[in-house]
Amino acid sequence: DQQVKQNSPSLSVQEGRISILNCDYTNSMFDYFLWYKKYPAEGPTFLISISSIKDKNEDGRFTVFLNKSAKHLSLHIVPSQPGDSAVYFCAASARIGGGNKLTFGTGTQLKVEL
């Protein structure tokens, strides 16, 4: 039972264009969502997040959109750069004993081509 789904295993985009990565979730208890970026042989790096009370959060070239009714979020990268090539994980957060438990999607491999 996969509660967080990233249905596109890979995405290829030209440099300078927009990259849109999608994520769907099923559990209504998730109240915070995060995107992580991962390079090979490194740990995931936090990119951007959004609370369930918002529908948009922006940080430089990165914008995350949340559609609660559709249980869908997306990450927009504009403009895309070759250094953005990495695996992007969507994660959804639920409270556990004062901390938070993250449930991860399976990731989308983004390739930004020159």
Partner 1 sequence: NAGVTQTPKFRILKIGQSMTLQCTQDMNHNYMYWYRQDPGMGLKLIYYSVGAGITDKGEVPNGYNVSRSTTEDFPLRLELAAPSQTSVYFCASSWEETQYFGPGTRLLVL
Report the interface residues with partner 1, using CB under 8 A. 4, 9, 32, 34, 36, 41-46, 49, 89, 93, 96-107
CB of 114 to partner 1, least distance (A): 27
C-alpha triplet 58, 10, 41: angle, nearest 5°: 85
User: What is the torsional sign of CA 84, 43, 87, 35?
Assistant: negative
The minimum distance between CB 12 and partner 1, in angstroms, equals 18
Closer of 80 and 91 to partner 1 (Cβ): 91
Q: Least separation, in Å, of the C-beta of 58 and partner 1?
A: 17
Task: Say which DSSP state 61 is in.
Answer: T
Task: Check if the beta carbon of residue 38 is closer than 8 Å to that of residue 60.
Answer: no
Place of tokens 């995350």: 64
In the complex with partner 1, which residue's Cβ is closer, 5 or 79? 5
